[in-house]
Structure 1
Amino acid sequence: MTGKGSVNHNSRKFHAKNTDSERSCLNVEYCNENVKDVYHELFDEALTRYNEKQTRSDRRIDDYYNKILRGKQEKPFHEIIVQIGNKDDMGAKTEDGQLAAKVLDEYMQGFQQRNPTLRVFAAYLHMDEATPHLHIDFVPYTTGSKRGLDTRVSLKQALSALGFKGGTRRETERNQWVAYEKEQLAAIMLEHGIDWEKKGTHEKHLSVLDFEKKEWAKEVAELEQSISDGKEQLSNIQIQQRKAEQETEQIRQEGEAIRQEVSELSETSNLLKEQAATLAGDKEKLLSDNEKLEKQQKKLQQEIEKMVQSKAVMERNIYAYDEDEKWQLPEPVTLMSAKAYKDKKASPLVEKLKETIKALTIKCVQLAEQGKKLKDKVTRQEQQISRLTDKVMEQSNTIDRLQEKVADLGRLERYFGIEQVLSIVERSKTLERAEKVNKCPKRAFDMSR
């Protein structure tokens, strides 16, 4: 049978009216894991891979368990209840009931090995009710899925992986699996001397009317199953349609983003060409300015050499004043009067010294002014060189950015193909021209004149 899956009831966290708490100690707990922990174990890696592929945040899944819990396609987990006989022939307090418990225990021991895609997280053998029975709770999952998570919850696909392929409406994967599990239980029963009485297979005692009623009931059940399947298929189609609409909208938005990026890259390419031409002109100007600076530096070097030579000449002249006889005051001649010595010897030498000092003073002033001008000129040239160097660095950075944009454009051409990129650029230009035409003011004419 299919159970509702009350783990708290199965683990006896609370007792219902049909349980005998004094016999609860005879119950067997095979496993009792938190279903959310099992979801993390089975699906966390697949969830990470799925979220990494999503470009839109609204399509990412934060908690896979909550998504399945809120969804309508799959149940978070399934429960089956396995029982042999009833309270009249397999009562829990009887020897036959003890035999039934032994058979159920053997059946449970091989359940997970037979069904590897049904992850059992809770299983109990209850001996505190009228008849011994098993509760088995499991999460069905499939791997290698092409839709959604590559490892996801799916009872249909989990059973299909076990070899149960759906056929007619009656022969669903689940019905085939249930029949197989009954056969496994019957084989264990037979080992313990218990035969399987398959009820509902003999119709000899039914009247014609009862037989027809039963057939009608079967047809109604089949129709209800068909309606349920149709609703499920319709729901799946609607979900797929919504997903297709979302994917179409995403593709449209991505196409618009690509068109915008191609348009920007096209504008950048034009700007690159203009700036390349500007840089070529700046390069020629820099070369010309550099040549002028080199000539000015040579000229400055020559003037500095002249100043050095003038300094050497002045130094030689200084030594001449001390040693040369013409700059020495001669001894007075015997019997020469003081007036005659002054007029003929002292006064001419003093006048000569005065003229020389004047000339030297003027020359020093001229050299000082010339040195100051040369120093200012060198400073200006250094500032100009610094400005030109900064400009070259700025233009080099601009070239790097523009080359990166060109590389992006090349990547788009390699990814989408140059024809598609050119087509997008042409459509973008057409749209821009249309927008410009629409923005132009229209002149109104008065036709009555």
Structure 2
Amino acid sequence: MSYAVVHMEKMKAYDLKGMQFHHQRERESRTNPDIDKKRSCENYDLVNEDLIDFNQRVKEIIESQKTGTRKTRKDAVLVNELLVTSDREFFNRLDPDETRKFFEDSLAFFQERYGKQNIAYAVVHMDEKTPHMHMGVVPMRDGRLQSKNVFNRQELLWLQDKFPEHMQKMGFELERGEKGFDREHLSVQDFKRKTAKEQLEKEIASLEKKLSGKKNELLILNEEISDEVQVSAKREMKKVEVKTEERNLFGLPK
């Protein structure tokens, strides 16, 4: 069975413009060779109908709920971005409508948990090797940004358990991923590389299993074939002359 994957990364003000360019495919990526430009038209945002300015949208969300008068710190975490996906094998079993439903059901789960008003974007990328969704959660609580409180260790543990359970109830064959939180410290690109490596290792293990089965079939067939089978053979002798650079005593070529 495939695993449900939710990876969290913290975004500050200086990260948002780069994320905007990447998620909305506004500029050509020099760091992600997996993007198939011909399929970029298949990408979509489940929250916004048109392209948005990430900094402006996040600022609007903060200002609409902010209760204090203090300015937002320059180094504050403005967005906790969640990367939602599974493995390629899982998506290969889904048609485009089912894939969209997977991301819509995922979004509904997070909207209920963190507030629909706090989701800045939910961009689904269909132009890479494995479909995935980048969802930006502005961690507002009680009128102020509280990333450390909204996404603390207990919350991440809760997500690892409850998100797969929710998706199973929605009809998707998924199970909980591996325990541990080393992944939340990886960048999105490093996380994708690690996930791709794990997918490749999974495919290699599957191929090795199939190869082992074929070897067993071959052994059984060899045991069933008699060792006394005689095959007639015909031997032919041919004389071939090859000139060399060597010469005999009379100066003629050998």
Identity value in percent: 18
Equivalent residue in structure 2 for 1:181, among 149, 153, 159: 159
Structure 1 segments unaligned to the other structure (5+ residues)? 51-60, 144-150, 160-172, 202-217, 222-449
TM normalised by structure 1 equals 0.31
1:153 alignment partner in structure 2: 145
Q: Which has the higher contact order (CA 8 A, sep 6+)?
A: 2
Q: 1:14 to 1:155 in 2, by over 3 A?
A: same
Give the corresponding residue for 1:42.
Answer: 62
Q: What is the aligned counterpart of 1:25 among 38, 41, 45?
A: 41
Structure 1 pair 109–46 and aligned structure 2 pair: CA distance change class (3 A): closer
| 1:134 CA displacement | 1.0
CA distance in 2, matches of 1:12, 1:21: 9
Q: Quote the residue 1:131 is aligned against.
A: 130
Distance 1:76 1:90 in 2: 32
Aligned to 1:82: 84
* In structure 2, distance between residues paired with 1:199 and 1:41: 33
Q: How does 1:362-441 map to 2 (within 5 A)?
A: none
The Cα offsets for residues 149-195 of structure 1, whole Å up to 9 and x where unpaired, read as xx3211134x2xxxxxxxxxxxxx52322333342343323542503
CA distance in 1, matches of 2:108, 2:27: 26
* Cα distance, 1:200 vs structure 2: 5.9
Residues 45/19 of structure 1: CA separation in 2 closer, same or farther (3 Å cut)? closer
Q: Distance in 1 between matches of 2:59 and 2:37?
A: 32
Residues 187 and 103 of structure 1: CA distance in aligned 2, closer, same or farther (over 3 Å) = same
Partner SS state of residue 34, structure 2: coil
Separation in 2, partners of 1:24, 1:18: 11
Structure 2 alignment gaps of length 5 or more = 1-6, 183-254
Once the two structures are TM-superposed, the CA of residue 46 in structure 1 deviates from its matched residue by 4.7
Give 1:31 shift. 2.7
Matches of 1:197 and 1:153 in 2, distance apart?
29
User: Structure 1 CA distance, aligned partners of 2:111 and 2:154?
Assistant: 17
Which deviations, in whole Å up to 9, do the C-alpha atoms of 1:265-298 show, x marking residues without a partner? xxxxxxxxxxxxxxxxxxxxxxxxxxxxxxxxxx
Query: Root-mean-square deviation (CA), in Å?
Result: 3.3
Cα distance, 1:129 vs structure 2:
0.8
Check the 8 A contact 1:101/1:132 in 2, yes or no: no
Q: Is the 8 A contact 1:117 1:140 kept in 2?
A: no
For the residues of structure 2 that align with 1:25 and 1:155, how far apart are their CA atoms?
33
Q: 1:189 to 1:77 in 2, by over 3 A?
A: same
The alpha-carbon deviation at position 96 of structure 1 amounts to 3.6
CA distance in 1, matches of 2:152, 2:57: 26
Q: Which range moves more in the overlay, 30-39 or 130-139?
A: 30-39
CA distance in 2 between counterparts of 1:174 and 1:126 reads 27
Per-residue deviation at 1:80?
1.1
1:24 and 1:90 mapped to 2: Cα distance?
A: 21
Q: Specify the code of the residue in structure 2 equivalent to 1:77.
A: V
Higher strand share: 2
Counterpart pick for 1:12 among 25, 38, 41 = 25
Residue among 192, 197, 219 paired with 2:171: 192
Q: Could you tell me which amino acid in structure 2 is paired with residue 152 of structure 1? A: R
Give, in whole Å, the separation in 2 of the partners of 1:24 and 1:134: 14
Partner of 1:437: none
Task: Give the match's secondary structure for 2:26.
Answer: coil
How many residues align? The count is 160
SS in 2 for 1:13: coil
